[in-house]
Chains A and B, each alone.
Chain A
Amino acid sequence: MSEDVLREWIERFREAREIRKRFANWEFVKKQPPKIRIALEYYIETGDFRTSAKIVGMGVDEFVDMAKDLANIPTVD
């Protein structure tokens, strides 16, 4: 992998994280029981919906729908 391609993708993932952070309904996130809160915070940081869903024992689509509809976290990347 060339350094330029690597740098571009690192930047793209950083931008995606910033968008998730900016849009997230933090009041909702912070009010959740620990498992859900940690899963949502992990999702905001990484965009990794699969691991986040596993943390709370939900289907991945159920988790992403919850993140979008209740925590206002968009999908970005």
Chain B
Amino acid sequence: MSLELKRGFQALANAVADTSFLIDWIRYSKSKLIFKIFDVIYIPESVLAEIRSERSLLWIAEGLEKGGLAVFPELPDISREALNLVSKSRRLPVRPVDYPEAFCLVVGKSLDLVVLTENGGAIALKSYDPEYSSVIVWRGIDVLYALWRAGYVNSFKDELELYQQETKHIYSERDLAKYGDYLK
């Protein structure tokens, strides 16, 4: 699945979001723009279960009501593979993945969904585990880039600054380097 977007072109796909992504994204004042990019964003039961704040729950409830969000059920095959992934990642000397992020990665791989995460362990896993290298993993910065490419925001640079300010998420120089030409 390719989500390569040209300016002004809108592509809809489905995604699955983990807790780390939702916590940051919901703080962004234009958070609802994400539904312009994705047709349905799935929230696994294990992710939903660990969210408690009123702001997050209201955002999720509204998304569920309008159909932009859907709860992804615990399925035994996916659950089993996610637990294997947790165990495998814990054998390595880098930050491991926890069950909710592992579940999202397995769902992304199995159903060809974009995985929305800000979790370093999950992002790292894609780069070191060949079984997951083809999974499309997007962070907030990638969604902002897609929104800009699709014409929903005017300036990628300004929007990224606003996003970092509102969400208190800091992208490293390495993260920003990926979009260096567009941030000048």
Asked if A and B bind, the verdict is yes
Which residues of A approach B to under 8 Å, CB–CB? 1-2, 5-6, 9-10, 12-13, 15-16, 19, 23, 46-50, 53, 58-62, 64-65, 68-69, 72, 74-77
B2 at the interface (CB under 8 A from A): no
Residues on A with C-beta less than 8 A from B169 are 74-76
A13 to B96, CA, bound (A): 12
Residues on A with C-beta less than 8 A from B120 are 9, 12-13, 16, 47, 77
Question: What is the interface size of chain B, counting residues whose CB is below 8 A from a CB of the partner?
Answer: 32
Contact B94 A61 (CB under 8 A): no
Given contacts A6-B128, A9-B127, contact A75 B93 (CB under 8 A): no
New A-B contacts (11) at CB < 8 Å, excluding given A65-B55, A75-B118, A75-B168: A2-B128, A5-B127, A23-B170, A59-B51, A59-B52, A60-B23, A61-B23, A61-B56, A65-B27, A68-B27, A68-B168
Contact B128 A9 (CB under 8 A): yes
A22 vs chain B, min Cβ distance (A):
10
B50 at the interface (CB under 8 A from A): yes
Contact A61 B127 (CB under 8 A): no
Contact B118 A59 (CB under 8 A): no
B169 and chain A: residue at smallest CB distance:
A75
B75 at the interface (CB under 8 A from A): no
Residues on A with C-beta less than 8 A from B52 are 58-62
Which residues of B approach A to under 8 Å, CB–CB? 19-20, 22-24, 26-27, 50-53, 55-56, 92-95, 98, 118-120, 123-124, 127-129, 167-170, 172, 174
Contact B23 A65 (CB under 8 A): yes
- CB < 8 Å: which of B53, B98, B119, B170 contacts A74? B170
B57 and chain A: residue at smallest CB distance:
A61
Contact B128 A74 (CB under 8 A): no
- CB < 8 Å: which of B53, B123, B128 contacts A61? B53
Residues on B with C-beta less than 8 A from A12 are 120, 124, 172, 174
A38 to B23, CA, bound (A): 22
User: Considering residues A69, A72, A76, which has the most beta carbons from chain B within 10 angstroms of its beta carbon?
Assistant: A76
